């Protein structure tokens, strides 16, 4: 099985891709452990701060020592230099807020999953023609489930995942899966700034378990 297929299967099997960023290395690692204990086996860390590269390097180290099944993805990749940096330190998959052709070419040549953010059929076609198979619908709250319903028959060979605006409720999650997505990306609705600030890892773990249970019940 290819690396791209392995990551795709992992995300689809759990039905959710948690994503977060925290400048504090200890908090970053403790959240990762909480998600792993909840049953998560693929997670996105967003490259949105100066500490992102060093924190992600430590995440890979801790994953290798403690969580061999965890796949670590890096998000907010906007250029080839960023993709190359995180490739060198061992990222398993890469996610962008938009489609970047040279990033797609580089990562697909390495058999690494690249999921670009798209919000128009033109962007989705460009990504598909470049060899991308897993599309991030972004921002999900602006597009809505109606957009997914309208385009799914046009792109039968692609997998879709909305990010932005997906709530932890059964109603929100179910509406997206009924529209035809393969997974949902979930950031601040799941790993909120408040929970991170309070270092309330137990609640993060429990809320993640609830979402996983909701998704499994829908399948």
Active site positions, annotated: 44, 136
* Edge-to-edge order in the sheet of strand 159-162: 159-162, 134-137, 113-118, 93-96, 71-75, 42-46, 16-20, 184-186
Question: ω before 139 within 30° of 0 (cis)?
Answer: yes
**Cα(138)–Cα(130) distance, integer angstroms:** 19
- What sign for the dihedral angle of Cα 21, 22, 26, 31? negative
Nearest-CA neighbor of 89 among 135, 55, 43? 55
Map tokens 């290395």 to a residue.
Answer: 25
The residues, any chain, with a CB within 8 Å of residue 95's CB and separated by 6 or more, are: 19, 44, 73, 74, 75, 76, 77, 114, 115, 116, 117, 136
> Which letter does DSSP use for residue 169 in this model?
S
């Amino acid at each position: 099985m290819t690396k791209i297929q392995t990551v795709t299967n992992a995300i689809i099997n759990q039905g959710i891709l948690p994503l977060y960023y925290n400048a504090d290395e200890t908090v970053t690692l403790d959240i990762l452990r909480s998600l792993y204990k909840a049953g998560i086996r693929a997670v996105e860390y967003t490259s949105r701060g100066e500490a992102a590269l060093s924190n992600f390097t430590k995440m890979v180290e801790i994953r290798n020592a403690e969580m061999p099944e965890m796949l670590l993805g890096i998000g907010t990749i906007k250029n080839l230099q960023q993709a190359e940096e995180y490739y060198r330190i061992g990222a398993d998959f890469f996610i962008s807020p938009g489609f970047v052709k040279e990033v797609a070419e580089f990562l697909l040549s390495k058999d690494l999953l690249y999921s670009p953010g798209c919000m128009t059929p033109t962007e989705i076609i460009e990504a598909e023609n470049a060899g991308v198979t897993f599309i991030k619908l972004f921002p999900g709250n602006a597009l809505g489930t109606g957009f997914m319903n309208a385009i799914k028959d046009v792109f039968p060979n692609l997998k879709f995942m909305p990010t932005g605006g997906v709530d932890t409720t059964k109603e929100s999650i179910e509406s997206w899966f009924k529209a035809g997505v393969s997974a949902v990306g979930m950031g601040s609705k799941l790993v909120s700034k408040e929970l991170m600030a309070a270092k309330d890892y137990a609640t993060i773990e429990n809320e993640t378990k609830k979402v996983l249970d909701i998704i499994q019940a829908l399948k």
